[in-house]
Structure 1
Amino acid sequence: MLYIQDKESKKNNSSDQEFDIFLFFKFLLRNKFLIGKFSLISFLLGIIFSFTIKNVYEGQFQIVLKKDEQQASAYGSFQNIIGLDKTNDLKTEVGILESPSLLKPILKYILLSKDSEDISNLDAKFFSWRKNNLDVNLLKGTSILDISYRDEDKDLIIPVLQKMTLAYQDYSGRTKRRREELTKTFLINQIDKYQKKSSASLKAAQDFAIDEDLVFNNLNIDENSNLIQNNSLSTTNLLQTNIGFERDRVKAANQLKKIDLQIEKIKNLKDEVDELIYYGASIPALAKEGLPDEIKESENRLLTINQQLESIKSLNENDLEALQYIGASIPALVEQGLPQTLKNIESNLVDLRAKYTDADINIINLIEKRKLTSSLLRERAIKYLNVEKTNIFLNREPRINLLKDRAIKYLKALRLEIEADMEAVMRPKEVILKYKELIREAARDEKTLISLEQQLRIIELEGAKTEDPWELITEPTLKNKPVEPSRIFISFSFLVLGTLLGVIFSIYKRRKSDLVEDSQNLENFFNVKIIENLSSTDIKLGSTKILFLKKFFNNLSGERTVLISLGEFKEENSKKLKKLLTLDKSNDKTLMIKSSLEFMDDTTDFENAFLITRVDTLKFKEIKELRKRLDFLNLRIKGIILMY
């Protein structure tokens, strides 16, 4: 820290830190004239220095790093295989455009244009020149390259930029030609290799099929498919290639599992007549016999009978029309004529009521006859339906058992047939695996060959096209005003440097003088407060400050108090103060004012000690010595009176 403090009195909190900053600003204010001199002199030197530096001018142009999408797709499959850069790697492209291979001829031209320049050791000079004079940057989010060149020779900038545009445009065409050459060489070599490999793998698959009595199918390679994607061979379709007899074997095995499940399900069926009918109908032979349909019709009739019985039981005496309808659906009742008789009675009753009242004897007789007929029809309908229901139940279980037996027998017969077919297509596991491996290899080689031939045709077509060089967005231009030096910046930097030197020198000067300078430093050192500030005019009888001090010392606990004077005082002021601060005789307390030397020679056992001093002449050495002696006496300063 700038100011020395008592280690025991330091407090690590924010208030102390703010207080130190306040002291620092007070220190700057006390030394403002010295710091100002340093700042002014440094600022003037900065202005003079800025005018001694040569002007630096800047020119720039922008160019598009164009990428042809069709060309990119043609080469993209082989970028990593043949060692070419990725088409979208613009950062790599920028690195090439900054490389010595492109820019060293430009530097040589610049050095030759400056007669005094030495063109030897271009390699060593190149990197320094590129760092200090050239900026090559991609505009963010685009493929636009911004090139800026700086030089002290204003007339040289435009010619240099023009040469750079020609070099970059020539490089764009050279890259395309080199890519075509490498790709064609690679494809021709690979086509020759895969022609031989494809013929050999195809012959091996055919020979193996003949030896093992297998059917060799055509590979059916799609010439429009692209095998090479993402720099790796895609074998998804080839891995799905299967062999006909293996498919038949797998199909037969699945059918056997299905038949076993059906047989087990049929055996476990009890009251699930609908499921049994479904299984029976799914077996062609049983469906042709009609047994599932017969059982289904019986079940439907049984359901109808139950519904009719429920309806008859729920009918009241007046629901004659519903009763006639149900009776008409029962053949035995129709044959007996009961439904028609009831209908005729209703018709006659309607006719009579049109002529007579209900009290007529004919109407009364018809109503009684209708009641008897409807009761008879209801009883006979219930009887006939129950008889039919009983007959259906008697035949139901034998039919269901018959359907189960026939279904199981048919499925077992079908299972034997499928097992025979499965055994006919069985081959040893090693034969199947070997044949599949040969088929996949032959198909993969053939497809790779087709893809390589397609790529070679595309590359040859691309090579026949004439490609435009990279497009200039802006022509090389020169800024009218120099970009360097920034005289304002240089002058301001010198001003800041001068101010900093002034502050450092002021700190050095203060430390060398060892003066306390500020009352706050004194308070921090002894960890006490200033009791009072006294000027020469305050040291007089009746002064409020003197009266306050007398009252303060009178109220102190302890009988013996000493004021230790430290630093330079006017002897006259010291005598006046000693006289004015003399305590009342009626008071048993003693107050003495002694210099630091007198205090050391005094043997009095003081209970209170206070310091009286001037900060402008007081040195840290003096207060350190005083505190050291007070520590030996187990006495500490309780307050400070400042003179000024």
Structure 2
Amino acid sequence: MTSDSKDSNESSNQSSSEVYRELVDIKELFKSIFRQKIVCISVFGVVTLYSFFSAITRKPTWEGEFQVVLVDSSGTELAGPTRFGGLGGGVLSGKRTIFTEMKILESPMVLLPVFNFYKDQKSLLSVNKEQDLSGIKYRKWIKKIRIKKEDDTSVLTVTYRDVEKGLVLPVIKKLAGTYQAYSGRDKKRGFAKTLKYLDEQIDIYKAKSEASLSASQIFGMENDLSPLMPNEAPGDRDIREYKFQGRTDSSFAELNPEYQRLKAAWDVKRIEKQLKILDASKDINETSLYFIGQARGLTEFGNFSSRLSKLDVMLASYSSRFKPNDIAIRNVQRERNILITEFITSMRQYLEAKLFDAKSRLASAERPKGVLIKHRALTREANRDVTILASLESDRQRLLLDQAKESAPWELISIPTMKDWQVGPSKRSTVYTGVIAGFVAGCASALAADRLKGILYSLNEINSLISPKLLAKLSANATRDWDEDINLLAKYYEGSNKNVDSISVIPVGNISKKQIELFSKKFSVSLKNTKLIVSEDFTNAVNSKKQLLLIGNGFVTRSEIKALNQKLSLVQNPITEWVAIESDV
């Protein structure tokens, strides 16, 4: 036989034994109920009669309902969400799930006014106007309200049930109005809270922006600096427009000392280079004079150019008519050289004057170390404060616009109404429920009563509570069949224990004397060379070589088994076997 087949046989045997044990347990359960059938029937009858009485006397229940949708026409957001950018964004943009809203709608924060209204209406409808309503508890009343979410929608169906027909419609209308008021209140609180926050921040940044702009302006004036640098950071243009309305970029740049310093330094280098070229050149031709004469501010260049052109025309005319050494040609050339010399001298004087001016401007544009850095920091702070102020003011305008456009997000899609028919309780279902509950309660009571008696009716339970091994089961209702089992028992003792000269039988529990005598008689006959002693006294029983416990189900209690285990723990030669007298109880 293979290992797989062995495993399958073992699992099959194990499952069979488990099924058997379950069947035995169920059988014992039914036996226990049957033993206490009077208790079971009594409890069943009481519960069933109570259900009949309750079905007859219980007031009918009436129901009202309405439906509400938790989203507005613009989207799926709940509890008044409003979105806008900037610093104020997100204050009202938090979402709450529909299940969160359902829990809020069941809270005392929302429903306590309805509960108070309910008590007032109940007092008005009561025959006894002085009826004490303090016994009405909110926790009990809230169970009358049911909120159900319709599948795949944002629609809630709200129902209210009460045995007082005149209370249903007023309470359900009050409930609908309270829910709508709650949704509007939640939105108004959100708007008010955000508006208050924005107003506080606007006041703060108004003061900060005025202080930072003033600090930047005062520092600039003290150090002969314009309010802004030419290399502006993003947003600096807002400050420029804020302080210098109407100025162009070029006019603004000319006011900046950094721009003036760089321009003056560039002018110094350019003029010095021009002077160096002018001094290094001994023979300057007309082309060089033309380009040098392009310096800005040299107004004499136009007169010089026209005079030089006339002399060149005269020289060309004389050269065609006279000899090169003619006095007329020499006079024209001398006049031409004098003109060029005068122009070069004038040019040098002009460039030296421009160089002096550029150096003066360079010196005036220089500032102590750290002044420009501090001015830039003050300007950046002013820019940040003005930008934040503008953002807050913009957010406030958006919030007011959103508040003007918002409508109540919770729209009633059905008016509060009360059904024309009673919704409960059903007399038939009440009776059916009572019958089932009575049966269950009766069985449970029977099992509890049987358990409280403490008598052990199951051999399996007895076997699980004691350590000795069960050798045989003798049926109390079939004593004629004992012979075979007792003979086998006698052979077991005489065959495996050859030196045993005596066996003590110890009855445990309230076994009948007739059964004890019958067992002793048959066992003595089966034993040939062994003496049999029957005694309930452990002191006498332990003197024998072997001891055998005799226990019957239905005749022994848990306390007796507990006492038996205590005695067994004190015996030096442990008692290892027991025989059961099985009764069908």
For 1:62, the equivalent position in structure 2 comes to 67
Secondary structure of 2:45's match?
Answer: helix
Which whole-Å CA distance do the structure 2 matches of 1:626 and 1:74 have between them? Answer: 78
Q: How does 1:278-427 map to 2 (within 5 A)?
A: 427=367
For 2:526, the equivalent position in structure 1 comes to 581
Which whole-Å CA distance do the structure 2 matches of 1:630 and 1:101 have between them? Answer: 67
For 1:382, the equivalent position in structure 2 comes to none
Alignment of 1:28 with 2:43, yes or no, is no
Shift in CA distance, 76/214, structure 1 to aligned 2, threshold 3 Å:
closer
Deviations 1:552-603 (A, max 9, x none): 34413224132516232328735751563241xxxxx323253436x86689
Which whole-Å CA distance do the structure 2 matches of 1:78 and 1:147 have between them? Answer: 39
For 2:376, the equivalent position in structure 1 comes to 436
Shift in CA distance, 181/424, structure 1 to aligned 2, threshold 3 Å:
same
For 2:223, the equivalent position in structure 1 comes to 212
Residue pair 2:46, 2:438 contacting (<8 A) in 1 also: yes
Residue pair 1:535, 1:643 contacting (<8 A) in 2 also: yes
Which whole-Å CA distance do the structure 2 matches of 1:470 and 1:568 have between them? Answer: 81
Match of 1:501 among 445, 466, 470: 445
Q: How does 1:51-200 map to 2 (within 5 A)?
A: 51=55, 52-67=57-72, 72-73=81-82, 88-89=95-96, 91=100, 95=104, 98-99=109-110, 103=114, 106-107=117-118, 110-116=121-127, 127-128=138-139, 131-136=142-147, 143-170=154-181, 172=183, 197-200=208-211
Which whole-Å CA distance do the structure 1 matches of 2:195 and 2:464 have between them? Answer: 89
Shift in CA distance, 447/500, structure 1 to aligned 2, threshold 3 Å:
same
Shift in CA distance, 431/57, structure 1 to aligned 2, threshold 3 Å:
farther
Q: How does 1:33-44 map to 2 (within 5 A)?
A: 33=34, 34=36, 36-37=40-41, 40-41=44-45, 43-44=47-48
Shift in CA distance, 204/44, structure 1 to aligned 2, threshold 3 Å:
same
Which whole-Å CA distance do the structure 2 matches of 1:120 and 1:618 have between them? Answer: 60
Moved more, 152-161 or 530-539: 530-539
Which whole-Å CA distance do the structure 2 matches of 1:77 and 1:120 have between them? Answer: 59
Which whole-Å CA distance do the structure 1 matches of 2:162 and 2:187 have between them? Answer: 33
Residue pair 2:82, 2:93 contacting (<8 A) in 1 also: no
Match of 1:203 among 214, 222, 225: 214
What one-letter code is carried by the residue in structure 2 that aligns with 1:607? K
For 2:514, the equivalent position in structure 1 comes to 570
For 1:445, the equivalent position in structure 2 comes to 385
Shift in CA distance, 43/192, structure 1 to aligned 2, threshold 3 Å:
closer
Which whole-Å CA distance do the structure 2 matches of 1:182 and 1:616 have between them? Answer: 78
TM-score (norm 2): 0.56
Secondary structure of 2:407's match?
Answer: coil
Shift in CA distance, 86/105, structure 1 to aligned 2, threshold 3 Å:
farther
Which whole-Å CA distance do the structure 2 matches of 1:492 and 1:564 have between them? Answer: 49
Match of 1:47 among 46, 51, 54: 51
Shift in CA distance, 159/591, structure 1 to aligned 2, threshold 3 Å:
same
Which whole-Å CA distance do the structure 1 matches of 2:185 and 2:216 have between them? Answer: 46
Which whole-Å CA distance do the structure 1 matches of 2:96 and 2:560 have between them? Answer: 74
For 1:221, the equivalent position in structure 2 comes to 238
- Percent of residue pairs identical: 23
Alignment of 1:594 with 2:534, yes or no, is yes
What one-letter code is carried by the residue in structure 2 that aligns with 1:450? A
Deviations 1:69-96 (A, max 9, x none): 6995467867799xx7655346479737
Match of 1:634 among 573, 576, 579: 573
Residue pair 1:530, 1:639 contacting (<8 A) in 2 also: yes
Deviations 1:141-164 (A, max 9, x none): 865444332211235323322333
Which whole-Å CA distance do the structure 2 matches of 1:207 and 1:119 have between them? Answer: 80
TM-score (norm 1): 0.52
Deviations 1:51-84 (A, max 9, x none): 2443433333221234576995467867799xx7
Secondary structure of 1:215's match?
Answer: coil
For 2:544, the equivalent position in structure 1 comes to 606
Secondary structure of 2:513's match?
Answer: coil
Secondary structure of 1:221's match?
Answer: helix
Deviations 1:312-357 (A, max 9, x none): xxxxxxxxxxxxxxxxxxxxxxxxxxxxxxxxxxxxxxxxxxxxxx
Residue pair 1:62, 1:146 contacting (<8 A) in 2 also: yes
Residue pair 1:46, 1:495 contacting (<8 A) in 2 also: no
What one-letter code is carried by the residue in structure 2 that aligns with 1:221? D
Which whole-Å CA distance do the structure 2 matches of 1:102 and 1:643 have between them? Answer: 70
Shift in CA distance, 110/492, structure 1 to aligned 2, threshold 3 Å:
farther
Shift in CA distance, 42/452, structure 1 to aligned 2, threshold 3 Å:
same
Which whole-Å CA distance do the structure 2 matches of 1:197 and 1:523 have between them? Answer: 87
The number of equivalent residue pairs is 428
Moved more, 520-529 or 617-626: 617-626
Which whole-Å CA distance do the structure 2 matches of 1:163 and 1:578 have between them? Answer: 88
What one-letter code is carried by the residue in structure 2 that aligns with 1:88? K
Residue pair 2:72, 2:409 contacting (<8 A) in 1 also: no
Which whole-Å CA distance do the structure 2 matches of 1:633 and 1:187 have between them? Answer: 92
Residue pair 1:610, 1:640 contacting (<8 A) in 2 also: yes
Once the two structures are TM-superposed, the CA of residue 506 in structure 1 deviates from its matched residue by 0.7
Secondary structure of 1:99's match?
Answer: helix
Secondary structure of 1:31's match?
Answer: helix
Which whole-Å CA distance do the structure 2 matches of 1:523 and 1:607 have between them? Answer: 26
Secondary structure of 2:372's match?
Answer: helix
Which whole-Å CA distance do the structure 2 matches of 1:552 and 1:499 have between them? Answer: 44
Secondary structure of 2:238's match?
Answer: coil
Residue pair 1:517, 1:618 contacting (<8 A) in 2 also: no
Residue pair 1:190, 1:452 contacting (<8 A) in 2 also: yes
Match of 1:528 among 445, 454, 469: 469
Shift in CA distance, 432/620, structure 1 to aligned 2, threshold 3 Å:
same
Secondary structure of 1:570's match?
Answer: helix
Shift in CA distance, 106/641, structure 1 to aligned 2, threshold 3 Å:
closer
For 2:329, the equivalent position in structure 1 comes to none
Secondary structure of 1:107's match?
Answer: helix
Shift in CA distance, 504/151, structure 1 to aligned 2, threshold 3 Å:
same
Q: Which runs of 5+ in 2 are unaligned?
A: 1-15, 241-255, 266-360
Once the two structures are TM-superposed, the CA of residue 620 in structure 1 deviates from its matched residue by 6.2
Residue pair 1:564, 1:610 contacting (<8 A) in 2 also: yes
Residue pair 2:104, 2:110 contacting (<8 A) in 1 also: yes
For 2:407, the equivalent position in structure 1 comes to 467
What one-letter code is carried by the residue in structure 1 that aligns with 2:237? N
Shift in CA distance, 560/210, structure 1 to aligned 2, threshold 3 Å:
same
